[in-house]
Structure 1
């Protein structure tokens, strides 16, 4: 495999890993926003929307992490010639 393809795969793996960590931290902040009490009474479907957003962020983080691991495995296989 040529050097350009290896750099492209490595870049994709790093980007997907970064996206996964960003979404994971976003879901943590949204969850903390739900469980920390505040002085404003919760009206409407605020909690439900925040929980759906938290779950979607976690699912997307998992998908991006799995893609990053797939690219990393592909890169390792190419580097070691397997």
Structure 2
């Protein structure tokens, strides 16, 4: 039976991956707001959507980096 620490570590890995997926979806949605034209959109709207999209992509990369780091830590513990 696995210890509580290993279960927590696996749960954290799964959470980071889920956060990354959600942030990637949000970033994609915001990017679409940047490239799809609609009435009443001005330059500031494009800047906000573009900045939010890039910020979301940065946090997505951070989440996957953390998940990768924890996976390596889990492999070290299990070996």
**TM-based fold match above 0.5:** yes
Residue 4 of structure 1 aligns with which residue? 4
Q: Which runs of 5+ in 2 are unaligned?
A: none
4+ residue runs of structure 1 moved beyond 6 angstroms? none
Separation of aligned partners in 1, 2:19 and 2:59: 9
Residue 31 of structure 1 aligns with which residue? 31
Root mean square deviation of aligned Cα: 1.3
Separation of aligned partners in 2, 1:11 and 1:61: 18
Report the TM-score when normalising by structure 1: 0.87
Separation of aligned partners in 1, 2:43 and 2:53: 17
SS in 1 for 2:19: helix
Residue 74 of structure 2 aligns with which residue? 75
When the two structures are aligned, how many residues end up with a matched partner?
Answer: 78
Q: Which runs of 5+ in 1 are unaligned?
A: none
Residue 51 of structure 1 aligns with which residue? 50
